[in-house]
Amino acid sequence: MKWKVIIILGFILLFVPEVAEAQCAMCRAALESETDNSQAEGINNGIVYLMAIPYILVGGLFFFIYRKIRGKSA
């Protein structure tokens, strides 16, 4: 029963692109009104930094688990 709900929600999120287009109205207005791209580059860099940290943490966790498992089997 749980898997059916998860699959249905997954399909809804994939096929409803309006949900993915959410953006702060103030950020959008500030970026569209600017003539040079310095503020847009700053926002993009901030997004990259916010996305990179969780990937680094999860990668480190998987590496730690891999080393523990490999150490026990050797």
Predicted pLDDT of residue 6? 87
Q: Report if pTM > 0.75.
A: no
What are 69's two structure tokens?
């498992």
Q: How many domains are there within the chain?
A: 1
Query: Which residues span the domain enclosing 34?
Result: 2-73
What secondary structure, in 3-state letters, does 28-69 show?
HHHHHHCCCCHHHHHHHHHHHHHHHHHHHHHHHHHHHHHHHH
Helix (H, G, I), strand (E, B), or coil: what is residue 71? helix
Asked if 23 and 7 count as a contact pair (C-beta separation under 8 A), the reply is no
pLDDT digits (tens, 9 = 90+) for 5-60: 888 888 887 777 665 555 677 777 777 777 777 887 888 888 888 889 999 999 99
